[in-house]
Structure 1
Amino acid sequence: MGATCPSDNTQATDQGSFWGNGAGWDAHKVGWTIAGACAIVTVLISTITVLLHCRNYTNRREQRQIIRILYMPPIYAVISFFSYRFFRSYTYYSLAEVAYEAVTISAFLLLLIEYVAATAVGHSAENAIQRKDKRNLPIPFCCWRYRPTKPYFMYTVKWAVMQYVVLRPIVSITGIVCQVYGVLCESVGFGINAIHFANIYLEAIDFVSITLALYGLLLFYGLVRQELEGRRPLAKFLAIKLIVMATFYQSFIFDALEGRVIKPSKFWTATNIADGLNALTICVEMVFFSMFMWWAYSPNEYTVAGAKKTSIWRPLWDSINYWDFVLEIFGSLRFFFNYMRGKPSTHSSAMREDGQPSMNFGQAFGVGPVYGNKLPLDIANRSTMQLAVDMRPSYEEDIRLAPYHYGSPTHKRGQSRDSSLPPEHYGYAQ
């Protein structure tokens, strides 16, 4: 290999101690102070938000994903502070930092699935999308159409997003190893000499992986956005997406200014300064993002008046126990394995994996007969007129039924609901 990787660091030793170089305040110390103060504020805000969720842990499936998302600003702030403080090891910190982005994106998808499932009978996202008709893919593949009722749809969406939680840590670990052996060479950029080093190939893998993950997330969000009304899904999505976009684009801008506007100093190379400015900016931004997340993922949504406060330990354990990720990933892999084997339930939307026919729009939301002419026992003995009222079919694929509330007054005209029967008896969403 003829090309050599230029060092990111100077030979001169930097200021090793905050207090050990006199009373003067140079730019490095000012930045050090700002980064540390912002990191502390971010940690405090996020800690309060997480603890409020932990003390009102009334929906485990949703809140375990929310807590994972709330970890994003403090993790970014703390790691960015250390990457500023120990700027000679910036690459190691930045690779570790971006790995958590994959966890956050995957947690957000699972949160959306829980929101959608809450609007359907049986708490099933698959049931919720049974009403969806064939439609175009999002840009840039809008010339192709897809049918969300196909068995493979949900598995494909999950895998499209969650492959990132597998590949991104692998890319980060590989990058750290390459940095140790001096073959990563981020400072070369994407010029002709970049093909001799590992960074360009790892960046290409990461770009394809995150693009696929975000596309899958946008596809699912566009499909179910009507079911998400009232849950502030756009604010929740932006709280994550803006962090990803801000960190990516500002890093690109600082790299572009390197060697042109950004000049080296005695202790810092131009690369050090660009990396330091990026880390300092992230620390400042995370203060605002942590406040935005407090609002977007408000603990008030799960506060039950008069209910006893929950222990914080179970929620904290749930948030760092990623077994649900493992189950989702291997569940999708098993489905695709069965798909390649030609298993009938994986190729046809007419039958579900449990051997029963798939439900249409009305059936999925409890307003139509289930399984063709075979009616559930709880409605088999009703009169013909009453069945016409209770089970009127829907012919409009795009309309949305608002989630039912347990306190709805009646299910039959002129007849009060029997409180001794469960909500699902009357077609109420769980």
Structure 2
Amino acid sequence: MDMSKFEPNSNEFASHWPYIAGLFALIAIFLSLFEIFKHMQYYNKPYLQKYIVRILWMVPIYALNSWLAMFFPQTSIYMDTLRECYEAFVIYSFMKYLFNFLQNDVDEYEILVDCKPSVPNNFPFCFFPPLPAGRKFIQFVRHAMIQYIVSRPVTTFLALIFQIFGVYCEGNFSLNYGYIYLLIINNLSQMVAMYFLVMFYQNYKRELAPMRPLGKFLSIKAVIFFSFFQGVLLSLLIKLGIITKSFIPSSTPDISTNEMSRNLQDFIICFEMLIAAIAHIFVFSHKPFIDEQRQSNPVFYSFSRIVDMTDERTDVADHFRQIGNRMKNFWPSSQQSNYTNIEVSSTAPLIPMQVRKNYGSSCEGFQKI
């Protein structure tokens, strides 16, 4: 194997961009690792902190990936595979974080869910029927998140295969290449996941208020939104010739516009990760979990709990099982059993109307996290 292609090309990257980006990335990584260590040290609420730590790992992974890609652009497609898969994992982790808070820190969670009415869709989907009430709404949100963590690794793997066979052509919107098709699939899948996450927040924002979810949600959405759509925007600017005329340094005339787009994208992500790391210190702080009366956990014990993937395997398996059950509806022999299941699962407990009106009106007594 010719290792020369993995060596930095001084002619292409003669500017100081990679070194400035490296400074941003190293500071961001240090801040994030410090916060991660503190969460593992004060690992007093595993059902929440497990997912917080997984979210915090987003900054080191994004920053290191983008910084190395500036020096080794030929390998960026392979490093991006890890980053893009982890992006879907972050959205799933945030969903589990919200669900676990409701289940463990909100009194009478089961009654709360059953009291929730149907949810009208937001614009531009307001012409669709309202989303179902109660537990069915929770299931809708859950499966919307899981479809993204399933589809994103698949499309990322396909992009890797297309790149190997030379039919991917990142930034090329021609229908003859795979980039445009995978872009559409990823965009639709991500939009579904983010839309249902917003709908969940709107429906439960009063109950979630003690854990101040808005800042947490925006810090995650901003990273995912900018890292994805700014790459699309840069590709469009290349297509229009704006980046070629304005951004290619005169000292590197041989650099391609696609390489320049990647260079800009990676530089911007390194800077954004520094901003995200600072924001995470405040929105995902370890301080609310400090309990001086409890002995600190060994870090390796906390780490073993965080890397446990049992919940992910269970959720994905249930997701495919539900898909299989839906597909059985097409067979006449299963119609009767399906109707029976629907009737049983849709039976709601008899909760007094006054309880339905007043339940969850106060969030006093919860610790703000």
Band of TM-score, shorter chain: 0.7 to 0.9
1:163 aligned partner, one-letter code: Q
**1:31 and 2:27 correspond:** no
Question: Residue 7 of structure 2 contacts residue 72 of structure 2 at CA under 8 Å; is this kept in 1?
Answer: no
**1:307 and 2:287 correspond:** no
State percent identity of aligned pairs.
23
- The structure with the largest alpha-carbon Rg is 1
Instruction: Please name the residue that 1:247 is paired with.
Output: 227
- Residues 113, 260 of structure 1: alpha-carbon distance in 2 compared, 3 angstrom cutoff: same
- SS of structure 2 residue aligned to 1:140: coil
**1:213 and 2:204 correspond:** no
2:85 aligns with one of 87, 91, 99: 99
Instruction: Please name the residue that 1:396 is paired with.
Output: 357
In the TM superposition, what is the alpha-carbon distance from 1:323 to its structure 2 partner?
A: 2.0
Deviation track 1:12-63 (CA, whole Å, cap 9, x = no partner) reads: 9898477xx9xxxx96351121122222211111111011110111111111
2:217 aligns with one of 212, 228, 237: 237
- SS of structure 2 residue aligned to 1:309: coil
Q: C-alpha separation between the residues in 1 aligned to 2:257 and 2:65?
A: 21
Instruction: Please name the residue that 1:135 is paired with.
Output: 119
Q: Which is bigger in relative contact order (C-alpha 8 A, separation at least 6)?
A: 2
**1:43 and 2:29 correspond:** yes
In the TM superposition, what is the alpha-carbon distance from 1:148 to its structure 2 partner?
A: 1.9
1:344 aligned partner, one-letter code: T
**1:113 and 2:99 correspond:** yes
- Residues 405, 222 of structure 1: alpha-carbon distance in 2 compared, 3 angstrom cutoff: closer
In the TM superposition, what is the alpha-carbon distance from 1:210 to its structure 2 partner?
A: 0.6
Q: C-alpha separation between the residues in 1 aligned to 2:165 and 2:358?
A: 57
1:252 aligned partner, one-letter code: V
1:117 aligned partner, one-letter code: Q
Instruction: Compare the two structures and name the one with the higher helix fraction.
Output: 2
Q: Which moved more, 1:81-90 or 1:167-176?
A: 81-90
Instruction: Please name the residue that 1:344 is paired with.
Output: 340
1:261 aligns with one of 246, 265, 274: 246
Q: Write the mapping of 1:262-277 to structure 2, written as runs, cut at 5 A.
A: 262-263=247-248, 265-277=252-264
**1:166 and 2:150 correspond:** yes
Deviation track 1:317-353 (CA, whole Å, cap 9, x = no partner) reads: 23333221121222244345456451635445554xx
Q: How many corresponding residue pairs?
A: 347
Q: C-alpha separation between the residues in 1 aligned to 2:226 and 2:314?
A: 32
In the TM superposition, what is the alpha-carbon distance from 1:195 to its structure 2 partner?
A: 1.2
Q: C-alpha separation between the residues in 1 aligned to 2:324 and 2:92?
A: 22
2:203 aligns with one of 223, 226, 240: 223
- SS of structure 2 residue aligned to 1:134: coil
**1:145 and 2:130 correspond:** yes
Instruction: Please name the residue that 1:385 is paired with.
Output: none
TM-score, structure 2 length as denominator? 0.85
- Residues 347, 70 of structure 1: alpha-carbon distance in 2 compared, 3 angstrom cutoff: farther
Q: C-alpha separation between the residues in 2 aligned to 1:250 and 1:164?
A: 20
- Residues 348, 303 of structure 1: alpha-carbon distance in 2 compared, 3 angstrom cutoff: same
1:81 aligns with one of 52, 67, 72: 67
Deviation track 1:350-371 (CA, whole Å, cap 9, x = no partner) reads: 54xxxxx636378xxxxxxxxx
TM-score, structure 1 length as denominator? 0.73
In the TM superposition, what is the alpha-carbon distance from 1:273 to its structure 2 partner?
A: 1.6
Q: C-alpha separation between the residues in 2 aligned to 1:349 and 1:163?
A: 22
Question: Residue 119 of structure 1 contacts residue 128 of structure 1 at CA under 8 Å; is this kept in 2?
Answer: no
In the TM superposition, what is the alpha-carbon distance from 1:250 to its structure 2 partner?
A: 2.6
